[in-house]
Structure 1
Amino acid sequence: MLPVRALSTLRQSLSRTSLRMLATSSAFAKHAAILSELGLKPTGNKGLFDGQWGGSGPVQTAVSPVTNETIAEVSTATIDELKVAIAKAKKAQEEWRLVPAPRRGEIVRQIRERLEKHKHALGSLVSLEVGKIYAEGVGEIQEYIDICDFATGLSRALNGSVIPSERPGHFMMEQYNPLGVVGIISAFNFPAAVAGWNVALALITGNATIWKPAPSTPLISVAISKIIQDVLEENNLPGALHTMVCGGADVGEYLAKSSDINLVSFTGSTEVGRKVGTIVQNRFGKLLLELGGNNAIIVNEDADLELAVRACLFAAVGTAGQRCTTTRRLFLHEKIHDQFVERLVKAYAQVKIGDPLEEGVLCGPLHTKVAVEHYKKTIEAVKAQGGKILVGGNVIPGPGNFVEPTITSIDANAAIVQHEVFVPILHVSKIKNLEEGIKFNNQVAQGLSSSLFTQDISNVFKWTGPAGSDCGIVNVNIPTNGAEIGGAFGGEKETGGGRESGSDSWKQYCRRQTATINFSGALPLAQGIKFE
Structure 2
Amino acid sequence: MQQIQNYVQGEWVSGQGEELIARDAIHGTEIGIVSSAGLDYEAILDYGRKVGGPALRKMTFQERGRMLKALALHLVKIKDQFYETSFKTGATKIDSWVDIEGGFGNLFANASLRRQFPDLPYYVDGSHAPLSKNGTFIGHHIMVPKRGVAIHINAFNFPVWGMLEKIAVNLMAGVPAVVKPSEYTSFLTEHVVREIIASKILPEGALQLLTGLGRGILDHVTTGDTVTFTGSAATGKKLQALPHIIDRSVTFNLEADSLNASVLGPDVEPGMPEFDIFVKEVQREITTKAGQKCTAVRRIIVPEDKIDAVQEALISRLQKTSIGDPRMEGVRMGSLASSIQVERLAENIARLKNSQEVVYGDLRDFEVMGAQRDKGAFVSPTLFRNDNPFSNTDVHEVECFGPVSTLIPYKGLAEAAEIANMGKGSLVSSIITADDKLGREYVVEAAHMHGRIMVLNAKSAKESTGHGSPMPLLTHGGPGRAGGGEEMGGKRGVLHYLQRTAIQGHPDTITEITQVYQPGASRPEAEKHLFRQHFEELKVGETVYTHRHTVTDADIASFAQVSGDNFYAHVDATSLEGTIFEGKVAHGYYVLSKAAGMFVDPRKGPVLLNYGIDECRFTKPVYPGMTIGVKFTVKEKIDQEKRSKDDIAKGIVKFNVDVYDEEGETVALATILTMVKKMDQSV
Q: What TM-score, normalized to structure 2? A: 0.66
Deviations 1:158-189 (A, max 9, x none): 35221332323123222221113111111100
CA distance in 2, matches of 1:464, 1:191: 32
1:51-70 equivalent positions in 2, closer than 5 A:
51-59=10-18, 60-70=20-30
* Unpaired stretches in structure 2, ≥5 consecutive residues: 118-122, 269-273, 367-372, 457-463, 510-683
Match of residue 403, structure 2, among 400, 418, 424:
424
The structure in which a higher percent of residues are helix is 1
User: 1 CA distance for matches of 2:254 and 2:305?
Assistant: 39
Match of 1:498 in 2: 485
Equivalent of 1:437 in 412, 416, 420: 416
Provide Cα deviations, 1:432-465, integer angstroms capped at 9, x if missing partner.
1111110010012232110111111211111221
Partner of 2:185: 217
Asked whether the equivalents of residues 463 and 469 of structure 1 are also in contact (C-alpha less than 8 Å), the reply is: no
Q: Say whether 1:405 aligns with 2:372.
A: no
Change (3 A) 1:281 1:300: same
Hey, what does 1:17 align to over in structure 2? Answer: none
Query: Which of 165, 175, 184 is matched with 2:152 structurally?
Result: 184
The structural deviation recorded for 1:407 is: 0.8
Question: 2: CA distance between counterparts of 1:222 and 1:520?
Answer: 50
Aligned pair partner of 2:338 in 368, 379, 395: 368
Instruction: Determine helix, strand or coil for the equivalent of 2:28.
Output: coil
Provide closer, same or farther for how the CA distance between residues 382 and 77 of structure 1 changes in structure 2, counting only shifts above 3 A: closer
What is the aligned partner in structure 2 of residue 326 from structure 1? 296
- The structure-2 alpha-carbon separation of the partners of 1:305 and 1:434, relative to structure 1 and needing over 3 Å to count, comes to same
Number of the residue aligned with 2:63: 103
- 2:348, 2:399 within 8 Å by CA — same for their partners in 1? no
Task: Indicate yes or no: 2:75 matched with 1:115.
Answer: yes
Is 2:223–2:248's contact at 8 Å kept on the other side of the alignment?
A: no
Aligned to 1:394: 363
Tell me, what secondary structure is at the counterpart of 2:409?
Answer: strand
Kept in 2, the 8 Å contact 1:47–1:218? The answer is: no
CA distance in 2: counterparts of 1:258 and 1:113, whole angstroms: 33
Map Cα deviations across residues 205-229 of structure 1 (whole Å, 9 max, x no partner).
1111111111111212221221221
Contact 1:108/1:151 (CA < 8 Å) preserved in 2? yes
The offset of 1:406, in angstroms, is 0.9
- Equivalent position SS for 1:401: coil
Q: Summarize the alignment of residues 341-360 of structure 1 with structure 2, pairs less than 5 Å apart.
A: 341-360=311-330
**What is the aligned partner in structure 2 of residue 382 from structure 1?**
352
Matched, 1:155 2:133: no
Inter-partner Cα distance in structure 1 for 2:208 and 2:408: 47
Deviation at 1:375, TM superposition (A): 2.9
1:507 aligns to 2:495 (yes or no): yes
Structure 1 residues 359 and 446, CA gap change in structure 2 (3 angstroms): farther
CA separation in 2, counterparts of 1:271 and 1:364?
Answer: 27
Give the aligned residue type for 1:113: L
Q: How much does 1:426 deviate?
A: 0.9
* Contact 1:175-1:514 at 8 Å conserved across structures: yes
For residue 293 of structure 1, what is the aligned residue in structure 2?
258
Question: Which residue number in structure 2 is paired with residue 38 of structure 1?
Answer: none
Question: How has the CA–CA distance of structure 1 residues 49 and 348 changed in structure 2, closer, same or farther, with 3 Å as cutoff?
Answer: same
The AA in structure 1 aligned to 2:140 is: M
1:131 is matched by which residue type in structure 2?
A: G
Counterpart AA for 2:360: V
Is 1:48 the counterpart of 2:7? The answer is: yes
SS in 2 for 1:494: helix
- SS of the residue aligned with 2:505? strand
- Give the structure 2 partner of residue 194 of structure 1: 162
The residue number in structure 2 matching 1:461 is: 440
Aligned residues: 472
Q: 1:173 aligned to 128, 137, 140, which one?
A: 140
Shift of 1:55: 3.2
| Residue 451 (str. 1) matches residue 420 (str. 2) | no
The separation in 2 between residues aligned to 1:87 and 1:483, in whole angstroms, is: 32
Which amino acid counterpart does residue 91 of structure 1 have in structure 2?
K
Give the fraction of aligned pairs with identical amino acids, expressed as a percent: 22
User: For 1:56 and 1:388, how far apart are their aligned partners in 2?
Assistant: 47
Corresponding residue number in structure 1 for 2:234: 271
Q: Give 1:412 deviation, angstroms.
A: 1.9
Residue identity matched to 1:216: Y
Deviates more, 1:71-80 or 1:298-307: 71-80
Does the 8 A contact of 2:258 with 2:426 survive in 1? yes
Q: Secondary structure at the match of 2:401?
A: coil
Q: Which residue of 2 is the match for residue 26 of structure 1?
A: none
Q: What is the CA–CA distance in structure 2 between the aligned matches of 1:85 and 1:371, rounded to whole Å?
A: 30
Deviation string 1:379-437 (CA, Å, 9 cap, x unpaired) is 3333322x221110323542112111011111323242022220211111111111111
Determine the structure 1 residue equivalent to 2:529.
Answer: none
What pairs with 1:82-101 in structure 2 (closer than 5 Å)? Answer: 82-92=41-51, 93-101=53-61
Q: Which has the higher contact order (CA 8 A, sep 6+)?
A: 1
Cα 1:45–1:392 change in 2 (3 A) is closer
- The answer to whether the 8 A contact 1:66-1:400 is kept is yes
* Alignment partners' CA distance in 2, 1:469 and 1:120: 41
Deviations 1:219-261 (A, max 9, x none): 12221221221233x67x32x211112221514443xx52166
Equivalents in 2 of 1:99, 1:380: separation in Å?
Answer: 54
Counterpart in the other structure of 2:583:
none
- Larger of the two Rg values belongs to structure: 2
The answer to whether structure 1 residue 137 and structure 2 residue 73 are counterparts is no
Instruction: Give the secondary-structure state (helix, strand or coil) at the position aligned to 2:449.
Output: coil
Give, in whole Å, the separation in 1 of the partners of 2:489 and 2:446.
25
Contact 2:65/2:112 (<8 A) preserved = yes
Q: CA RMSD in A?
A: 2.1
Contact 1:77 1:245 in 2 (8 A): no
Change (3 A) 1:482 1:447: same
In 2, the alpha carbon distance for the partners of 1:405 and 1:45 equals 32
Measure, in 2, the Cα distance between the counterparts of 1:476 and 1:53. 46
Task: Quote the Cα distance in structure 1 between the aligned partners of 2:263 and 2:446.
Answer: 15
**Which residue in the other structure is 2:470 paired with?**
483
TM-fit CA distance, 1:115: 1.2
CA distance in 1, matches of 2:382, 2:263: 18
Q: Following TM superposition, by how much is the alpha carbon of 1:153 offset from its aligned partner in structure 2, in angstroms?
A: 1.8
| Structure 1 range deviating more: 376-385 or 84-93 | 376-385
